[in-house]
Structure 1
């Protein structure tokens, strides 16, 4: 009888433990950034990269996987694609042993290639997954931001790729393929990731909004996609930030612009009007207001650039003079120059060109 009671107690204890573990998993999932929470789990979930998905799907049917080179703008799914492929090839548990992910912007020296990469590439791989399915006889090394690697590290990697070709596949991920040395490029199959279309971004963002209970207007969604410039990761981060700030109130276009730190159009147009007034005091007053409001000078010149391009009061020669000054001011700001002085210098240049 006591043994029976003990067994019942242990089974109830096991049930409560499993419930506690499930609750912890749910809490951990709820606290995850949406970028990670809604990262594609399989290759077919990758959006707007049909050519890449079509080629990689063949490797899931038994075809051998070559060394890969993914390049393209940020936030287009390069890292998500190779992680989803690895998850489908190896399974969730075995993926931890068979995939080595390194960020080359932090670890980009030749010692990393000689030690971490070389040692991992020399390890043998099992042929069975935890679910009993056959597993590819190779490992995958992911080198994210590979365009930050030093030239010496890339040259050392070239030899490592040749020696470990039987047991290891490499996936290099970068934004600028021109920064990868030609011998590395020739050893990889290249895939260009395109910026996501407006429709694909909206489709994925509306799906997230539905699952997370986010209230957002159509105008705000269009503004969110426009501000992200094809970067889905950036758009999803803005969406989560806006939702945490507004909650049940709902997100409108103004909220998106505030989170993106976009300078309101009326401030930019007011600055242009003050330059057209031919009054130095009004120009100074506009610049003082911009600085007092805490707007970034870099944002001001970026948006002013777009406005100047459409100004009908300036001819092409005058616009080129203003654009040259914008480039000089941008360089000065990156070197740490005073924002107020640089904005005044740009505004007076624009004032002189309008007065001509």
Structure 2
């Protein structure tokens, strides 16, 4: 009887283990769902969109030519990090990639201590070994410093010496948004490449590819709205697309859905505000601005969209210059943390003043 109980208990334990392992494997499958930005990141240099000069240089290095130290700069979401990661994967293959590539985000680790310890230690390692697939492997490692414009001046100065000493075994790739924040001795040691904001047709093509692979329903206006809202930032466009697909599953992705997700102020709201500024009273203007703030629209978004509309309005050049000068002042005040309601009201009152002068 005891033997039977032992056997049954051991079987139940095995069953529990089996069920837990199956549930954990199912959990692992669920966890493998990655953001589309990572899922559709270029796997090779040829997949990089719109950056011809950089792609040409990297292709030459993949063919066997030496690779210089690189400095990639440009707006966010234009493919800087994706490009060097794709090139590194092609150079080293999946086996050697982890041994040969050190990726650091300088916005997190930006002090001189990181350069002295992590960077210097990795740079001093010799680059031995060959690829398992038999392809030629370059005799150097790559250190990628993302957000390098966030590094302190002392850390950048320390990096200069490491770049010189370890030039035989290590190549550096600095990635930043503002090249003016990188010290001159570093920029002179690197080949500089500017990444341009992606053209609308390039973005549209990539977004349509993703829609096809994910079997999404969409309207032409919806895709055009994605492109205009992202302003050349493909990463932002893909993120908005994924959000729209998750929030409105089985529905067509329309312009209205994209405007809601992106937090853009609806064009009708901007138009109404301008009409009140042109023809309404100050009391009505106060209410309109208050309603807009209460609705949760960001003042910076309202400002940017007002700017685009004012430029196309039928106003004289002098009126436009007065309004845009006020916009610049309001933008500065908002950046300094001023009250959004008062700043927008101040701007709209200037628009109202200019409109009354014209009439």
Please report the TM-score for the alignment, with normalisation by the length of structure 1. Answer: 0.90
1:52-91 aligned within 5 A: 52-91=54-93
Alpha-carbon deviations, 1:248-301, whole Å to 9, x = none? 112101001111111011111111111112511211121122122111111111
> Alpha-carbon deviation of 1:66?
1.0
Superposed CA deviations along residues 67-110 of structure 1, whole A, max 9, x for unmatched, are 11111221111100100111111111321111111111121121
Residue of structure 2 in register with 1:287 after alignment: 289
Residue aligning to 1:5 = none
2:318 aligns with 317
Counterpart of 1:249? 251
The DSSP-based 3-state class of the residue aligned with 1:173 is: strand
In structure 2, distance between residues paired with 1:32 and 1:181 = 37
Q: Distance in 2 between matches of 1:283 and 1:271?
A: 7
Deviation at 1:151, TM superposition (A): 1.7
Match for residue 121 of structure 2? 119
Say whether the 8 Å CA contact 1:126–1:135 is kept in structure 2: no
1:117-175 CA-partner distances (Å, limit 9, x unpaired):
11110111222124343321111000111112222211111111000001100001111
Alignment correspondent of 1:205? 207
- State the aligned residue count: 338
Take 1:310 and 1:144, find their aligned partners in 2: how far apart are those partners? 39
Change (3 A) 1:24 1:47: farther
Kindly indicate whether residue 138 of structure 2 is the aligned counterpart of residue 136 of structure 1: yes
> Which residue pairs with 2:265 in the alignment?
263
In structure 1, the partner of 2:52 is 50
* Whole-angstrom distance in 2 between the partners of 1:303 and 1:135: 51
Are 1:328 and 2:305 matched, yes or no? Answer: no
Cross-structure match for 2:240 = 238
Partner SS state of residue 191, structure 1? strand
Secondary structure of 1:248 counterpart = coil
Residue 26 of structure 1, CA deviation: 5.2
Whether 2:41 is the aligned partner of 1:39: answer yes
**DSSP-derived class of the 1:41 partner:** coil
- Give 1:21 shift: 10
Deviation digits for residues 33-54 of structure 1 (CA, Å, limit 9, x no counterpart): 0000111111111111122112
Q: Distance in 2 between matches of 1:206 and 1:26?
A: 27
Alpha-carbon separation, structure 1, partners of 2:207 and 2:28: 24
Distance 1:177 1:328 in 2: 26
Which of the numbers 147, 153, 168 marks the counterpart of 1:166? 168
Whether the 8 Å contact between 1:48 and 1:196 is mirrored in structure 2 is yes
Other-structure match for 2:106: 104
Secondary structure at the counterpart of residue 161 of structure 1: helix
Gaps of 5+ in 1: 1-18
1:16 is matched with which residue? none
Map of 2:344 onto structure 1: 343
RMSD: 2.1
Moved over 6 A (4+): 19-25
TM-score (normalised: structure 2): 0.89
